[in-house]
Amino acid sequence: MRVLVTGKQGQLAKQLQLDASSAITLQALDRAQCDIRDATDVLAAVTDFSPDVVINAAAYTAVDQAESDAEQAYAINALGAENIARACLATNARLIHVSTDFVFNGQHAQPYQPSDAIDPLGVYGDSKADGEHRVQALMPAAIILRTAWVYSCHGSNFMKTMLRLMAERDDLGVVADQIGTPTSTPTLARAIFALIDNTQAQGIYHCTDAGQGSWYDFAAAIYQQAQALGLLPANKSVTIRPITTTEYPLPAQRPAYSVLDHSRLHADTGLMMRDWRAVLAEELDKLLAEMAQTLKDS
């Protein structure tokens, strides 16, 4: 099995490289090696490696910056997705295209199904929705995997930002009226490899960890678990305050509710999603181990 991954520097691509089994020959490419905005570049990269599966993990994810940089957001998230789909068609490769909960408007009161109508609120979500449409139009058998609130030990993400801020400050206000589900990259990578194993899988799937919470809940859990593990100084006390979205205005509007239903993923792969708090504890433990190893090697 030969698998090509775009977005090599991203946290998901790094996890896929770590978790790929010995039965998979995986090659990850960064923008210098494969600029997905360039159709010729993409076709050359895919043709050269001749993969069985392409995982498009490259994306423009700067949600607020996208509002003033729409051209680049659409070039990567929409046109880039189309370029990859065309290359997969030309080389007879399967495609797994990673998308986002931001394609929804957040007005639901129950978890979103893959079949629910999309209605993005801003440039980032709209560019990802455009990418989904382009992939589906070219490759109806492609897999579109929506996820949300992705974090890991690798790269920049909410978990690592919170840990840094908790070490620097004594008081943090975190938005409590946006509800979703944190998703670790190991969970997401496991789902992707399971979908690869199911050669009949196609269409839209949702993947997050189980349960739901607000960004405030996520931050509070990070603080509690980090203290227990010793990731924060023992005498460091941080007050974490719930605030509203209006108290923390940003250029891009976020969905107020974006919990994703992943029952179709379970039905087609057998995967059981675990509660996000338990998964968070494992990721923080990994981070602690990595820090200890870094100190040992220095």
Catalytic positions, please? 124
Q: Nearest CA to 285 among 275, 277, 274?
A: 277
Token duo for residue 238: 């941080």
CA atoms within 13 A on the CB side of 55: 31
Residue 126 — φ and ψ, nearest 5°? -70, -40
Q: Which residues pair with 2 in a beta bridge?
A: 25
Beta bridge partners of 180: 213
Strand 2-6, strand 53-56: pairing: parallel
| Matching residue, tokens 């960064």 | 30
